[in-house]
A = this chain, B = another copy of it.
């Protein structure tokens, strides 16, 4: 076969699924390709369902997001979904062993907001090259002391303290204390 491979149900529509995930994380095809170590053309073809990627390619691409294969296939894009989630149901997005991020809810389509529960181990540091998408973001510290740098300002935030800034301003999260920092954050709609 060569012409068939096109639109299937939805759960198996890898292309659309990848495109949605990519857009939710505010990445362009080229940016994701760079992070993943593949070419932008490959991502374009996959998103159009003109090819069916190998597992190794798909894994490389998802590592650039980052998202596990299991989560990729498990994510639910249906508009009406569960309202309540237990702690264990949060989708994990691991950047760095010292930093864990868990997304609230598995529903992903038509999101207006992305909410994360983030945990920073002592010494964890995002670096400041994390411009990301162009929305806004805010958060509240739940535990520990967070060192937050936004533009030229730097502050120590203790439990109950919060922040709010435009995501295109360079920013950096650090845990310079000896106990873990936990915070709840939200990002406004990444692009689309």
Contacts and interface: CB of A to CB of B under 8 A. Distances in A.
A78 B156 CA distance: 41
A2 interface: no
Contacts of A56: 5, 52
B55 A14 contact: yes
A39 to B, nearest CB: 15
Contacts of A69: 12, 73
Contacts of A3: none
Interface string A111-123: 0000000000000
Copies of this chain in the oligomer: 2
A68 to B, nearest CB: 8
Interface string A25-64: 0000000000000000000000000011111111100000
A7 interface: no
Contacts of A52: 54-57
Interface of A is mostly: helix
A12 B70 CA distance: 10
Contacts of A55: 14, 52-55, 58
Q: Which of A51, A72, A73 has the most CB of B within 10 A?
A: A73
A74 interface: yes
Contacts of A59: 12
Contact of A54 (B11, B53, B72): B53
Contacts of A74: 70, 73-74
Nearest to A46: B55
14 contacts: A11-B70, A12-B59, A12-B69, A14-B55, A51-B54, A52-B55, A52-B56, A52-B57, A54-B55, A55-B55, A55-B58, A69-B73, A70-B70, A72-B73
Interface of A: 5, 11-12, 14, 51-59, 68-70, 72-74
